[in-house]
Amino acid sequence: MTTLPSAVTSPVEPPRGYRWLVLVVISLAMYGNYYVYDSIAPIADLLKSSLAFSDENIGALYTAYSIAAVIVLLLGGIIVDRFGTVRSTILFGAICVVAAGLNAATESFHVMLVARFLLGLGSEPLIVAITTALAKWFKGKELSFAFGINLTVARLGSVSADWSPTWARFAYKDWQGPLVIAAAISALCLVAPLVYGMLEGHARRRWGLGRAGATDRLVLADVFRFNLSFWLVVGLCVTFYSAIFPFRSFAIKFFIEAFELTREAAGRYNSVLPLSAMVATPLFGLLVDKLGKRSLFMMFGALLLMPVYLLMAYQLLPLGVPVAMMGVAFSLIPAVMWPAVAYVVEERRLGTAYALMTLVQQVGVAGMNWLIGRTNDTFAASAANPAGYAPGMWIFSLFGFLALLFAVLLRRRETGPHGHGLETITASARGA
């Protein structure tokens, strides 16, 4: 078995605990990032009742974020590749802080739209920079497990936002209080990269580590040089996240109006997805590191996702069952999908590859957030007409089927002569 190149080329290694300290610190920026993104969902019905927002308006807040992400992501990847992860995370983290403050300071839909757009300009490239940093520090080591820990901390931000009607009930007297809390938590997006910069600087001075690998400047033709396995992973990424994140945008409102849950209970149900992923994603990462079979695991996750929306739309099973199924899929696929890119793409193009993958994902998420909001309005989805949510659920189910299709095609590719080892490479094999 050919040994994969390590992101760290110096023969001197820092203590193992130092790498994990870097991981925890940089992941705190993801916590703040995810919290701010998810801070809209718990107040969706309050925005509708207090500020006369429609579901299409609420979807547009998420769409504005995604459109900004699409605009900036390729440039963000170039910035990460050229200027390094430290300066990139500080820059994009600062933009997130400004956006969260503006979002909390206004009741104007159009100003809030600008704030969410600004958040997209900072948030998604911040994720790319952090992902690239993890690949740099952990490739050839516990990469999938490290990605899992990073996602666990990030999703704790989503869980905290979903549970905020419970732990921050005092703030829910109106729509603005929860956004003020989000603005305060967004400070982590800047503080954590500053600390990470100090840690990497120390590692560079003492061990010669923490430097970015050799990078390429992006040429448009490079986009077309990525191999088919990469594009199949991208296809799975865009369909999977288009089925998950826009659902979460409206889930609390959906649970309140279709299942007659309280805001607190609806938030807890919505938190099952990130909460289960917090525990299961690192475990799935360890399992994949030991067993390989990455595309097979992604197929199983996509298969779980397909029926859940119709089970909820027609209340065929207790709500906890489809939500639990979605939670497993939400844990399994990202634990495999994001680390897989490091094996099918050259290290020097990782920043660009992650940026491109996230860009295509955001195109799908942008369209789906708007489409689901518009569909809910068209079919008058509300507490008085919960059946109006069903057409949107059918749309989500279609994307679940497409995710399975891409996973099947990826497995076929990787078990053939053009595979990159996604089904065979294990942690023990890398150390061979």
In order, the DSSP letters of 60-114 are: HHHHHHHHHHHHHHHHHHHHHHHH-HHHHHHHHHHHHHHHHHHHHT---HHHHHH
Q: Give the chain's domains with CATH numbers.
A: 16-213+222-430 (1.20.1250.20)
- Which secondary-structure segment (H or E) carries 33? helix 16-38
CA angle 246, 165, 332 (to 5 degrees): 40
C-alpha dihedral over 152, 155, 161, 164, to 10 degrees? -30
CA distance 215 to 320: 46
Q: What is the DSSP string of 170-186?
A: GGGGSSHHHHHHHHHHT
Backbone angles phi, psi at 310, to 5 degrees: -75, -35
Query: Quick one: DSSP state of residue 382?
Result: S
CA distance 208 to 211: 8
CA distance 36 to 3: 40
CB 244 within 8 A of CB 330: yes
Q: Could you list the pLDDT tens digit for every one of the 432 residues in the chain? A: 333 333 444 446 667 788 889 899 999 999 999 999 999 989 988 988 888 898 899 989 989 998 888 888 767 667 777 777 888 899 999 999 999 999 999 989 999 999 999 999 999 889 888 887 887 777 666 676 787 788 888 889 988 998 999 898 899 888 999 999 999 999 999 999 999 989 888 877 777 664 443 333 444 556 667 788 888 988 988 998 999 989 988 898 999 999 999 888 998 898 888 888 777 777 887 777 777 777 788 888 888 888 999 999 999 999 989 998 888 888 887 778 777 887 887 766 776 777 788 778 888 988 998 999 999 999 988 889 999 999 999 999 999 899 899 988 988 887 767 665 566 666 654 443
CA distance 343 to 319: 38
Q: 88 vs 44, 69, 133, 283, CA distance in Å?
A: 32, 15, 10, 30
- The closest alpha carbon to 128, from 82, 92, 83, belongs to 92
pLDDT computed for residue 366 by the predictor = 86
- Single-letter amino acid, residue 116: R
CB 26 within 8 A of CB 146: no
CA angle 37, 54, 182 (to 5 degrees): 25
- Tens-place pLDDT, residues 25-70: 999 999 999 999 999 989 988 988 888 898 899 989 989 998 888 8
